[in-house]
Amino acid sequence: MIAVTTPPATTSERLLVASRLFGPLSVARDEVITMPDGMLGFAGERRWIMLPAAPDGVFWLQNIDDSGLVFLLVDPFPFFPGYVVDLPDLPEPAPGASVVVLAIVTLPREKGGETTVNLQAPVIFEYPARQARQIVLPDPAYHTRHPIDLRTKLA
């Protein structure tokens, strides 16, 4: 499992974030994650916060400027052991930086529907810079709707 730890805020300056899913959130400005290119389909949305979910390896990515825009993210590697993410186009991380790869989960619209994960376009996070970007992998083995059973693997 990937443990994403956020460094402690160096300032007490807080930001109020409206979230339709979680209600109002007060977060340190230092916790803001910037996506200079936005996400696929959401190019203008560049400011996000990451909220840990239970269990480990699952997170919510809440947009700061659109209260209804939130994504469920998961560490894909425990679910797909052969999954490989090549990062050739990304700049070399700064010394001491860590890179975290998470995949977007699509929850079913109806009860009993299939939960899927997007392995074709993971989101890459760099800490402590708190920068992220979504990339598209050229490998045809990866697509946007791989079935995933979150209950059995994360229980």
Kindly report the pTM of this predicted structure. Answer: 0.85
The residue whose two tokens read 């160096």 is 10
Enter the tokens of residue 150: 């979150």
Q: Which domains, ranges and CATH numbers included, belong to the chain?
A: 14-86+99-154 (2.30.290.10)
Share the mean pLDDT of the chain. Answer: 88
Q: How far is CA 124 from CA 21, 67, 103, 140, in A?
A: 23, 22, 9, 19
52 pLDDT higher than 50? yes
Enter the tokens of residue 23: 């209600």
Q: Summarize pLDDT for 111-152 with one digit per residue, the tens.
A: 889 999 999 999 999 988 899 999 999 999 999 999 998 876
